[in-house]
Structure 1
Amino acid sequence: MKQTYQTALRAGVASMVLGTALMSVQAMAQTAPAASEDTKTIVVTGSLLRRTSKETVSPVSVLSTEALDARGVSTVQDGLQFLAVNNGPALTNSFTANGAFAAGASAVSLRGLSTNSTLVLFDGLRAAYYPLADDGSRNFVDLNTIPDDIVENVEVLRDGASASYGADAIAGVVNVKTKRQFKGVSVKGEGGISSRGDAPSQRFSVTVGKGDIDEDGYNIYASGFYYHSALLYNSQRGYPYNTDNWTALGSASNGVVGGVTRSGLYNAGTPTSSIFYVRPANAGNTATISGSRYQALNAGQCNGSTYVLNATDLAARDANGNLYNGTAPTAGVCQVDYANNYGVIQPDITRFGGSMKATAKFNDSIEGYVEVNVMQSSSYYTGNPAVIRGSAPTGIYYKQFNTSASGANYATGSGVLALPVYICARNGASAVMVNGVPTVPGCSASNGTLNPNNPFAAQGYTARLVGRDLDTPTVNETRNRVFRVASGLRGKLTDGIDFNIGATAMHTNLRRTYKNYVYIQHLLDAIADGSYNFVNPEKNSQSVLDYVKPTNVKTATSDQFQVEANLNGKLFDLPGGPLQWAIGASQRYEAVNAPSANSDINGPTERYYTINAFGTVGSRGITAFYGEAEAPIIKQVTLSAAGRWDHYSSGQASFSPKFGLKFKPVPELLLRGTFSKGFRIPSFGEANALPTTGYVNNTSAVFTDAFLAQYGCNTRAVDASNPNGYSSCPTYITNGSYGQTSLASPNLQPEKSRSITLGAVFEPARWISFTVDYYHIKKTGVITQPSNAPALAAYYSGAAIPAGYTVIADAPDVNYPNATPRVAFVQAQLVNANTQTVSGLDFGAQIKKKLWEGITWTSNLEASYIIKLETIYPDGTVERYDGTLGNFNLTAGSGTPKWKGTWVNALDFNGKVKVTNTINYYGGYDLSAMDQGGEYMDCSLNPGYSPTGCRVPRYITTDLNVSVKVNDKFTIYGTMNNVFDKMPPVDVETYGANGYNPVQGGLGILGRYMKIGAKINY
């Protein structure tokens, strides 16, 4: 009976596998095997050839799930973020809660070359891009879609691999390999919490499998998992991460204006960033009433936390003799600590899903598989309350909001948003803007009533309005569903030729939900008819709030379809071994449909404040042919060569060659080197997107003295306490930001790369080995937005704006309405212009030594050092980033440290008890960034109150994991991450987190974190 059952099951699995796999037999393409190989031969990521030695010509790191378990790392995504070669503009889950374009996702950045130069594969096959692009331009694969519990290991190729895989493999390849087979039942559960009693997490998984491929001819297994980590607020961590009040970080002389310490050390609140304030203006809203100042509509909204301006401050005069605070409130400004009240360190993340894989042997030489993965990943986080006055990010039909009914531009100083004198019922009509005043058409004294929100209405004055409703934080949610099917068939075509066929289809469905963001037209309607209570916002009905702040839901999708096949074999024997060859072909289709969540296609008021306008739609087909050969000339010398030709339906084409050399003069030493060329295809965001706006911090270098003098600033002050600022200058002017708007171009060409690696593997004894590899990568035709410097310099000096740029001015400053407005947006089209180079060294050491009977010591050290990372512009200008916060715009101010590494030591006691210690090292960096002005490592971004001076120090954390095998079926384990509860170094300039670097700080900001779990296998 048992034999009959197994025969039937085997036949059923074989039929399912064969039926799916044969759908792709007619296509000829390349893929690395989707499963672990048999014990005789292996195929390593980056090569088509089967080999018996793991000594590869290209450096490869293997991250096994067993090793991650031993370290207490809960997810493959977390493990990849710890990689020594993952540096620069990586995308972490924590950053998604702090303004990332690609919210809800995680990605690696090998060699500091950004997420779009690292290729991520699943079983050697491509995966669908995350529907949202990093910074609105960089396509990447979301690491949160990795099905953790069926992963065998992750191979990280630290070398260019376009000759094998095509586009995006410039800095390297991350290949996630799933288990070839699983037998029995495995149940795993764990829970974690910080030593402060917050940020709890839970993880649970079940895997069930039956059959042995080699003995029974089949294996089928299924797995399901659930993972959750709770939201963590800034207020739940210590100083200075929990507050905007950084006065304790520097001397009292920094940021003192009019005798009061504020702005720069602590933006204690301005009329535009706290509760609602009003200032009287004439009925036409063309001029403020002489001598008036802003006043709180309801000081009680401040909850007793008021920043009071003293008499000296109120009387302070600037260099022009004008009242420095002439427009400030008469009594004070509501002090709002946004970081403490609303800041989020990490979002709430929930992931769950299931996988199934069936593998069958059809005969002694042919094997096939089918794999199905279904996953959902969700994130939730809150943000600052929405503004009721601001510049919505630009869109393809951008028009300035500050335009009167007559077409006059409010940049002349007459367009500040104001409450009308009279309000009227709209009766279905939309409000119109008349000189900045939302008005119901036809509303006047004859048919309207005095506006209860306007304290100056009885005097016939409008009330210029600034501020926020502090009672309703914004809410951001993402829900990403991923569906993937893959199949493969491999075996022998003849005695001397092997074949390998693979096919995959993947669909990603991302839903984005934005709550409590202000819809501009509805705000104008509510102002015009008086339905929104600005005096007591907490008394607004839910229906009014829903109207002014309607929920915005948008869905984006991404698709990837791929069919690949290759043939490989041996031609003849050389003195060092057989000459191997492989040829293959590939056909794939990829598409992204990500409509804008905030398009202004219907006009500038039919949209939301501050929701990004990014959107893109595109698709393309790719055909590729490639081949590879390896020739062991003699026993000590092996040569290899590979090449691939890719053609895109969008018109681009590229040929990518690669050459390698292995030289083993003695058994203990291997010398290796490669030369390759690669390419990165323009992303959908770069070629097809709506204009994309990212916000860039102003630096003092962009302003002229003449411009700043209009804001009461004295000439540039250079002293020890404030080396890069101005005296008597509002820091919200110099420390603000502007929108950098990139305009897509369908005519972009691929970025080209040239890569060289040189390395050595030294194994003086069987139990110890050392590796060192040098790499140099040069990218040309790098896609970029032209430097904004010429446009900014022209605008602030009053000169003509250079061709190719559009500069859009901000609305007039409410405190200095007659001053030239700051820049709100700089628009420029993307071009192939720059050259980027990176060089560095990778180090590795492995030890596995039996110390005493029953005790084995294992040690694994990996470290990466960036020698130089720089961008060269067409005019010859060079910006160097390694060891600094640069490339500031690309890394979200998280920088590019020179050093990063991990050192793992484990003691195994008879296989019963295993104690593992991990040291994580993240190098420090200088507070400078050449793309923000200044010179290399010149401390130009130090605002004068950094507690560590010009340099953010290195960050070292220690993890400890203890695993006890109670019996053959039951194992318990405990993990303590960040054993010494060491918080990240303070960084006052990065904008990806409050007071610390989100990439450097990573999980360290959680503090000491403890997990306990159990595994049952039977």
Structure 2
Amino acid sequence: MKASRRHALAKAIQLSLLIGLPGFAAAQDAAPAREATTLDTVQVTGTRIKKAEIESQVPVQTLTRDDIERTGLTSIGDVVQELTGSGSSFNGKRNASGNDGFPSDGGGVGAGATTVDLRHLGSKRVLVLVDGIRWVNESSASGVGSSTDLNTIPLAIVERIEVLEDGASSLYGSDAIAGVVNIITRRNFDGFQLTTNFGQYTEGDGTSRGLDFAYGGSSDRATWFLGASYTKQDEVSSSDRERSRFPVPGTGLALGSSRVPGGRIAFTAPDGRKYDLVANAGQSNPTYTPGQAPCSAGVPRTDGFHCFGSNDPFNFAPFNYVLSPSERKGVFGQFRFDINDKVRWYARALLNRRDSENRAAPEPIDLGPGAGNDFAANVVIPVNHPFNPFGVQLDSSNLSILRRRPVEGGPRRFEQQVDTWFVGTGLEGTFDVGERAWFWDANLASSRNKAEQTNRGSYNAKNIATAMGDPGICAATPGCTPLNIFGYNTITPAMLKWISPVLHDRSENKLQQATFNLSGDLFEMWAGPLSFATGYEYRKYEGSYRPDPITVRGEYNGVPSLPTQGEYDVNEVYVELNVPLFKDSAFGKGLDLSLAGRYSDYSTFGGEFTPKYGLRWQVADELLLRGTYAEGFRAPSIGELFGSQSRADVGMIDPCLIGSNGAPPTGNAANCAAQGVNPGTRQVDPQISVLTGGNPNLEPERSTSFSLGFVWSPSILEDSAIAKRVDIEGTFYSHRIEGAIQAIDPQTQLNLCVQTLSPEFCGGIQRNPITDQIDGFANFLGNLSVIKTDGWDIDVFWTLPETRFGQFKLIWQNTIVGNYEAVGADGSLQPLQVGRLVSDPVTRSIPEWTSNATLEWSYGHWNASWTARHISQLVEDCGDAADFAVCKNDPQTGQNRLGATTFHDFQVGYRFDVLKGLQLQAGMNNVFGKDPPVCLACNLNGFDGSTYDLPGGGYYYLRADLRF
């Protein structure tokens, strides 16, 4: 540890021990008399110091229940993802399973989850709290997640959501690099509430329905709240939208898959001729005539096969979802009891279940060199196999590729069942030190996410190899039926029964924590009290991923993976001070200095100290200036540390091979030859299987964050002819992350390998000596890159004077991203930048400007709102699709421009004086049915679901809320 950090740590510990001694404060000058302090003090996100009133130390965006209900959405994650500072992350429009593979961070694909990304720094760099307590990470049964699934928290129990878009590791510890989302649950509620909602897309699909129940009450010494929630979201299939019936609109089958229903085989005949064949349409038993011209000659065949061509790719798009179905059921309760005037006990618990599903096209069968596992790669199809029409044995000596899309088995279905439980209890209270009240709380919490994913429609590669191999061995194997993959509709139910198992994958994340916090005023200074907070926190993380035994044995035909299991714990202590420097002077109304520091001791990598400094200058009643500087860190997650080796199919352009569209190689010819590549070889598949895995030697990511901003409430406009009140907020932010945990971009690694032939980049890349194709690609995690981003938040809150037409209010929130750079270990700039959309391997984009403008109106029992959500234009590289019309809409050749897009939402409501109130609301999101722009990198459905609304119409909803 650096000397400066050791010194800072020593000071922090000394101060923590010092302020824990009541006699220290008692020895100070007597404080002036003050009003009696109750237990109901306020602590806002962004500070640990409790105050009797809220003060704006840092920019915190608060979403009230009214704000949430105005969106018409039924998921916390969907609501937060509409914030202007939110980036690309998982939601119901990301049909992930079976397509994204297993990312190198070991977290799985997050199927069915909804996460939040702030400042485009990734969801794993956002800390999610519920009532100030950390929430357990996701489990989606495909890895050990390092992000929080907001679908595990019912929206019905939320009172408000506080979002801090600033580094806060000194206050909250690891993961708070990009910011903090603190979900505050409902407490003070009296009576019953029943809420029902219904929504549907104008195309008549994607129906959503929900029912929420709330009950609360109080007595002289106790309060309680109980909430239950049910939400069901129906699917929207790709085939139900014209825009999503092909991989990319306007490209037909060109971007389809080379895994086709009739089977594709590329092999070298005994006479040396090379063939790349597909069975003719409708042929269930195609005949083969040897000795015909090779495919390169362009001569049509006269048997049951033809050479693979531009009309053969498979259209996989109609099998996908553009909106995944899900069903969520949750119950939450909390009880608070005042033991006496100074001490309160509380307990809270939550149970939640999510059932969701992803769907993908029928799983392709790949056999021969370069296939996903040893059984498939080393397949031998003997000449006496009953379904081998070629008259020769097919094996690694003459077989290049053998692919079949078994549509007879139907699409792949990935069904997730995720159970979440949380239980927490604690004490909170006050005690007096001299004339001053200090606040304390002690908390225990235990939480778990447990998931099971059932996979239907996938295949067993070992059984496939047996069924394609020696007929005698198959006959002697119970249940084995010889498999016919040459031709259309050739796979019978008996064949499917042998090769198609039902797979069950399981994952779990556990979090146990204990915290103690102390806060108060130490003594009176010349400009006010010196306030403090200090505390101790202990956390233990446990995580595991247990794939199906078939997968563990290496028999799974899809993306292989191995089990993951790990645990670690952390002890932390923190101190925060608020120092008033002056008050009511010639320099302004007041200036406060905030100081914070946290020391964290991890069982995996040791200690880390993170400080934070802030200034709050109240220049005048109408002008506030504030700024912060913070250091932060993110500890490696269980998946990143202990994640086992897995494979993911990544789209890449091999610079040594001819492109799938005929584009010439771009790599150095001599270096390609040195790697054994023969001139004229075409890249067979744009997807290359990449081996990824965790690294137990990872160090934490370290960050610095800076913000500088203002809040201006011009008095000249207050109670004027054009405004009742106006507040204008502006914040400049800057984040820098060093040692970001990731693997080098696979395309960059491949390009550098060809350019340099360096073992650093080429060591994990192997080519097949027969086909010249890449059949081995290792790409493991490391502390590789530097990520830098900065920008502005500009918000305007304008309340107009009341008129005889009602009350109007304008809320206009904007985020402008000035810069985003991610630099790899080799110094190369990574492809994700401001104004660009990339797939690395999942789709991410950074619009330069995002804006939400809402006009609210209220008149008596009526209320209404109109919201415009704007996303500035993006561009993406077209790659092999540069010749398509979709890639000719940008002045720069080879780019696709995704034009600026604005969605409009409308809502109207009326309150009836029935019982305690009946509120009816109706609304429509995307009123004008605006389609999202066409995206090439999002080739599952042709649009970026983490940035835009669904294609094909708007979404209308109705809500009724009865209180009694």
Q: TM-score range by the shorter chain?
A: 0.7 to 0.9
Which residue of structure 1 lines up, in the alignment, with residue 875 of structure 2?
926
Give the 3 Å change call, closer, same or farther, for CA 301–661 of structure 1 in structure 2.
farther
Mean CA deviation greater in 48-57 or 644-653: 48-57
Contact map agreement 1:185 1:207 (CA 8 A) in 2: yes
Give the 3 Å change call, closer, same or farther, for CA 943–927 of structure 1 in structure 2.
farther
Which residue of structure 2 lines up, in the alignment, with residue 489 of structure 1?
427
User: Is 2:508 aligned against 1:557?
Assistant: yes
In 1, distance between residues paired with 2:794 and 2:204?
Answer: 38
User: Is 2:208 aligned against 1:201?
Assistant: yes
Mean CA deviation greater in 761-770 or 785-794: 785-794
Which residue of structure 2 lines up, in the alignment, with residue 511 of structure 1?
452
Give the 3 Å change call, closer, same or farther, for CA 962–127 of structure 1 in structure 2.
same
Give the 3-state SS of the residue equivalent to 1:999 in structure 2.
coil
In 2, distance between residues paired with 1:274 and 1:643?
Answer: 61
Give the 3-state SS of the residue equivalent to 1:687 in structure 2.
helix
User: Is 2:481 aligned against 1:523?
Assistant: no
Contact map agreement 2:248 2:936 (CA 8 A) in 1: no
After superposition, the C-alpha distances for 1:348-377 in whole angstroms (9 at most, x for unaligned) are 111111111111122223222211100011
User: What is the one-letter code of the residue matched to 1:518?
Assistant: Y
In 2, distance between residues paired with 1:689 and 1:175?
Answer: 29
Aligned counterpart in structure 2 of residue 475 of structure 1, from 399, 413, 417:
413
User: What's the Cα RMSD here?
Assistant: 3.6
User: Is 2:220 aligned against 1:243?
Assistant: no
In 1, distance between residues paired with 2:166 and 2:393?
Answer: 72
Give the 3 Å change call, closer, same or farther, for CA 985–803 of structure 1 in structure 2.
closer
How many angstroms does 1:317 deviate by? 8.5
Contact map agreement 1:277 1:294 (CA 8 A) in 2: yes
How many angstroms does 1:421 deviate by? 3.2
Give the 3 Å change call, closer, same or farther, for CA 514–188 of structure 1 in structure 2.
same
Give the 3-state SS of the residue equivalent to 1:476 in structure 2.
strand
Contact map agreement 1:77 1:106 (CA 8 A) in 2: yes
In 2, distance between residues paired with 1:174 and 1:370?
Answer: 22
Which residue of structure 1 lines up, in the alignment, with residue 47 of structure 2?
47
Which residue of structure 1 lines up, in the alignment, with residue 377 of structure 2?
402
User: What is the one-letter code of the residue matched to 2:783?
Assistant: N
Which residue of structure 2 lines up, in the alignment, with residue 741 of structure 1?
691
After superposition, the C-alpha distances for 1:418-443 in whole angstroms (9 at most, x for unaligned) are 643335xxxxxxxxxxxxxxxxxxxx
Which residue of structure 2 lines up, in the alignment, with residue 21 of structure 1?
none
Aligned counterpart in structure 2 of residue 502 of structure 1, from 432, 443, 447:
443
User: Is 2:405 aligned against 1:422?
Assistant: no
Contact map agreement 2:701 2:737 (CA 8 A) in 1: yes
Aligned counterpart in structure 2 of residue 685 of structure 1, from 635, 639, 642:
639
What pairs with 1:427-466 in structure 2 (closer than 5 Å)?
A: 451=386, 453-456=387-390, 465-466=402-403
Give the 3 Å change call, closer, same or farther, for CA 708–741 of structure 1 in structure 2.
same
Aligned counterpart in structure 1 of residue 594 of structure 2, from 623, 629, 640:
640
In 2, distance between residues paired with 1:775 and 1:940?
Answer: 37
Which residue of structure 2 lines up, in the alignment, with residue 963 of structure 1?
909
How many angstroms does 1:843 deviate by? 1.1
Mean CA deviation greater in 360-369 or 273-282: 273-282
What pairs with 1:353-372 in structure 2 (closer than 5 Å)?
A: 353-372=330-349
In 2, distance between residues paired with 1:393 and 1:103?
Answer: 27
How many angstroms does 1:877 deviate by? 3.3
Which residue of structure 2 lines up, in the alignment, with residue 330 of structure 1?
306
Which residue of structure 1 lines up, in the alignment, with residue 117 of structure 2?
109
What pairs with 1:621-700 in structure 2 (closer than 5 Å)?
A: 621-635=569-583, 636-699=590-653
Which residue of structure 1 lines up, in the alignment, with residue 863 of structure 2?
914
In 2, distance between residues paired with 1:941 and 1:711?
Answer: 9
In 2, distance between residues paired with 1:665 and 1:164?
Answer: 26
What pairs with 1:463-862 in structure 2 (closer than 5 Å)?
A: 465-471=402-408, 472-494=410-432, 495-528=436-469, 529=474, 530-534=481-485, 542=493, 544-597=495-548, 602=553, 606-613=554-561, 615-635=563-583, 636-699=590-653, 702-704=654-656, 707-708=657-658, 714=664, 733=683, 736-765=686-715, 767-788=725-746, 792-793=750-751, 799=757, 801-802=759-760, 805-809=763-767, 818-821=770-773, 823-853=774-804, 855-862=806-813
User: What is the one-letter code of the residue matched to 1:619?
Assistant: E
Give the 3 Å change call, closer, same or farther, for CA 293–121 of structure 1 in structure 2.
closer
In 1, distance between residues paired with 2:729 and 2:295?
Answer: 65
In 1, distance between residues paired with 2:930 and 2:761?
Answer: 51
User: Is 2:70 aligned against 1:94?
Assistant: no
Which residue of structure 1 lines up, in the alignment, with residue 33 of structure 2?
none
Aligned length: 864
What pairs with 1:8-23 in structure 2 (closer than 5 Å)?
A: none
How many angstroms does 1:456 deviate by? 4.5
In 1, distance between residues paired with 2:832 and 2:459?
Answer: 38
Contact map agreement 1:614 1:693 (CA 8 A) in 2: no
What pairs with 1:313-352 in structure 2 (closer than 5 Å)?
A: 329-330=305-306, 335=312, 338-352=315-329
Which residue of structure 2 lines up, in the alignment, with residue 448 of structure 1?
none
Contact map agreement 1:106 1:143 (CA 8 A) in 2: yes
After superposition, the C-alpha distances for 1:605-632 in whole angstroms (9 at most, x for unaligned) are x421223526421111110001111012
Aligned counterpart in structure 2 of residue 127 of structure 1, from 129, 135, 151:
135
Which residue of structure 1 lines up, in the alignment, with residue 17 of structure 2?
none
Mean CA deviation greater in 569-578 or 497-506: 569-578
How many angstroms does 1:970 deviate by? 1.4
Give the 3 Å change call, closer, same or farther, for CA 460–114 of structure 1 in structure 2.
closer
Which residue of structure 1 lines up, in the alignment, with residue 671 of structure 2?
none
After superposition, the C-alpha distances for 1:10-39 in whole angstroms (9 at most, x for unaligned) are xxxxxxxxxxxxxxxxxx9xxxxxxxx989
Which residue of structure 2 lines up, in the alignment, with residue 174 of structure 1?
181
Mean CA deviation greater in 104-113 or 333-342: 333-342
How many angstroms does 1:108 deviate by? 0.9
In 1, distance between residues paired with 2:732 and 2:278?
Answer: 63
Give the 3 Å change call, closer, same or farther, for CA 599–703 of structure 1 in structure 2.
farther
In 2, distance between residues paired with 1:780 and 1:828?
Answer: 20
Contact map agreement 1:783 1:831 (CA 8 A) in 2: yes
User: What is the one-letter code of the residue matched to 2:320?
Assistant: G
Contact map agreement 2:935 2:944 (CA 8 A) in 1: yes
Percent sequence identity over aligned pairs: 22
User: What is the one-letter code of the residue matched to 1:925?
Assistant: L
Aligned counterpart in structure 2 of residue 994 of structure 1, from 917, 920, 941:
941
Give the 3 Å change call, closer, same or farther, for CA 1008–828 of structure 1 in structure 2.
closer
In 2, distance between residues paired with 1:368 and 1:169?
Answer: 28
What pairs with 1:947-986 in structure 2 (closer than 5 Å)?
A: 948-949=889-890, 950=895, 951-967=897-913, 968-986=916-934
Contact map agreement 1:209 1:222 (CA 8 A) in 2: yes
In 1, distance between residues paired with 2:748 and 2:200?
Answer: 50
TM-score (norm 1): 0.78
Contact map agreement 2:610 2:632 (CA 8 A) in 1: yes
Gaps of 5+ in 1: 1-27, 29-36, 250-261, 307-313, 404-416, 424-450, 718-728, 813-817, 933-938
How many angstroms does 1:173 deviate by? 0.2
Mean CA deviation greater in 343-352 or 854-863: 854-863
User: Is 2:56 aligned against 1:56?
Assistant: yes
Give the 3 Å change call, closer, same or farther, for CA 744–238 of structure 1 in structure 2.
same
Which residue of structure 2 lines up, in the alignment, with residue 22 of structure 1?
none
Give the 3 Å change call, closer, same or farther, for CA 399–905 of structure 1 in structure 2.
same
After superposition, the C-alpha distances for 1:735-792 in whole angstroms (9 at most, x for unaligned) are 7122333332111111111111000000114521010000111111122224546752
In 1, distance between residues paired with 2:366 and 2:764?
Answer: 22
Give the 3 Å change call, closer, same or farther, for CA 794–897 of structure 1 in structure 2.
closer
Give the 3 Å change call, closer, same or farther, for CA 371–526 of structure 1 in structure 2.
same
In 2, distance between residues paired with 1:740 and 1:499?
Answer: 51
TM-score (norm 2): 0.82
Give the 3-state SS of the residue equivalent to 1:901 in structure 2.
strand
Contact map agreement 2:238 2:317 (CA 8 A) in 1: yes
Contact map agreement 1:393 1:693 (CA 8 A) in 2: no
After superposition, the C-alpha distances for 1:280-301 in whole angstroms (9 at most, x for unaligned) are 877xxxx478586635287257
In 2, distance between residues paired with 1:996 and 1:579?
Answer: 53
